[in-house]
Structure 1
Amino acid sequence: MLIGRTRTGKSTIKSLLVDPTVVPTDLTLKSDSRDPLFETFHVSDNRIVLNIIDTPGLFEHGDDEMSIRDNDAILNTIEVCVNREITKFHVVCFCAAVTAGLNREDIDSLKLLVKFLGDEISKNSCLIITRCESKDDQQREKMRKELSEDTYFKEIAPFFKLGIYFSGSLNPDDYNKANESLYDQYSTIIDYRLSNKIN
């Protein structure tokens, strides 16, 4: 299951799990996921079946105030997917985007989700820091250090028993313009896909 604050790249991760060569659609200000979406994918070369639940994000934003749901309403929609199946999840991925830093809303949404889902899923949980396509080893090491020293994150860090990972995808603007940074993004993405776990 992919879960986290709105606009953190959950749908992009889903797309990359199905096809690692996909270039995401242009980044917009609005979230793509309004309701939990359960999908099954067959990865033919590995003979693997992926059942992915892409959840709506917390702290929703939008242009129609009446359609913006509060966190309780979003948690209720997520509960539809998890209330009877929580022990069957192989991995629960909490997503946070690096583009704005790990801010108070990220920490609050992680705490809210941990409280909502319960400690019993900690053994199946990880944190994925998204939008890291241009972050090299040194920058990722700096982020690891910042996370380990963050006063608020320390409270929830033990929950992520599967570890903390980095994720990213090719920037669609760079891809469409054949930007030179595209090669660097590709190299970085390959590097962290091979070894990105924080111990």
Structure 2
Amino acid sequence: MYNSKPHQEDDLGRLHQHMLDTRLAVLVSQGEQGLLATHLPVLVDTGEGKLGTVYAHLARANRQWEDLAQGGEALLVFPGADAYVSPGYYPSKADNPKVVPTWNYLAVHAYGPAEIIQDPAALLTIVSRLTERHEQGRNEPWSVTDAPADYLDGMLRAIVGIRLPIARLQGARKLSQNRSKQDIAGVREGLTASPDQLDNQLAAHMRQL
């Protein structure tokens, strides 16, 4: 991704935390069927490999997995908070009107070779771990084993798993770092006062600068 130097995020711990906090990623690949993208929940194992490994699954009817099976690099996009930044947030505008709107945002891109998993036991592990992650904290968490065995076997035959060992990571943390401290404070205050919850989320990240 294009990412100017003031907004580049290189801290591996912060990159991993962003990925862990993202509930739905976007898997992008280029193959015989052209450019394809699928939105899907993922498991991020930060302890497997130098940069971590991502697990997920696709519907077998989603032919993107056939392109992935041919090799080549795939991309996982982990979006984060974002907000429109009005020039009206900048105190410096009073002295210098040469300002334009922009957009602040957080994002991580993970690249690597995707491996296809079709072994039923391995698929069961993936879907079980995904379920445990998202059922965690519920009063009566649902478990994969709550489903009838024959029904579960049929569901597993309808999916293929993906393992993506991360070869490289890119992180964008665009939080007005190219502006003065006064302008950063103005943006933060403007987004905090906004009735939009997404603006408030971005403002919370700016408070960590």
TM-score, with length taken from structure 2: 0.26
> Which structure has more RCO (C-alpha within 8 Å, separation ≥ 6)?
2
Greater strand share, structure number: 2
Greater helix share, structure number: 1
TM-score, with length taken from structure 1: 0.27
